[in-house]
């Protein structure tokens, strides 16, 4: 599917959405989980791997994003996390 214009656009728009959520702090947990899922999909697309399959950059990136999702320390201080906590539905916090 790589190389198809529509798929390339959807992939880049997904990356943009994840980046915007992580930079602003609004929906950062959802963005971090979506980013980790995207990393895992990219890891699965690269099987069999050329590098070490247990210490692949896709797996370490997914672990970092899962850590970001679990520890929302700076979202309310530096970003839009306070606003998001007040206005977002409960299942998206």
pLDDT in 10s for each residue of the chain, 93 residues: 778 899 999 999 999 999 998 888 888 888 999 999 999 999 988 888 777 888 888 899 999 999 988 886 656 666 777 777 778 776 665
Domain ranges of the chain: 5-81
Residue with tokens 């099987």: 47
- Residue 4 φ/ψ, nearest 5 degrees: -80, 135
Q: What is the C-alpha to C-alpha distance for residues 65 and 61, in angstroms, rounded to an integer?
A: 6
Contact 33, 39 (CB under 8 A): no
Question: Which residue carries 């880049």 as its tokens?
Answer: 12
pTM of the model: 0.79
What does the pLDDT read at residue 45?
Answer: 86
pLDDT at residue number 34: 95
Nearest partner of 72 among 28, 6, 10, 18, judged by Cα: 28
pLDDT at 86: 78
């Amino acid at each position: 599917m790589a190389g198809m214009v529509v798929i390339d656009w959807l992939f880049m728009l997904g990356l943009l959405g994840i980046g915007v959520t992580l930079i602003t702090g609004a929906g950062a947990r959802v963005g971090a989980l979506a980013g980790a899922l995207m990393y895992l999909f990219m890891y699965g697309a690269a099987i069999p791997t050329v590098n070490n399959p247990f210490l692949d950059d896709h797996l370490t990136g997914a672990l970092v994003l899962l850590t970001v999702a679990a520890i929302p320390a700076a979202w309310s201080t530096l970003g839009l996390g306070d606003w998001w906590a007040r206005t977002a539905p409960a299942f998206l916090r």
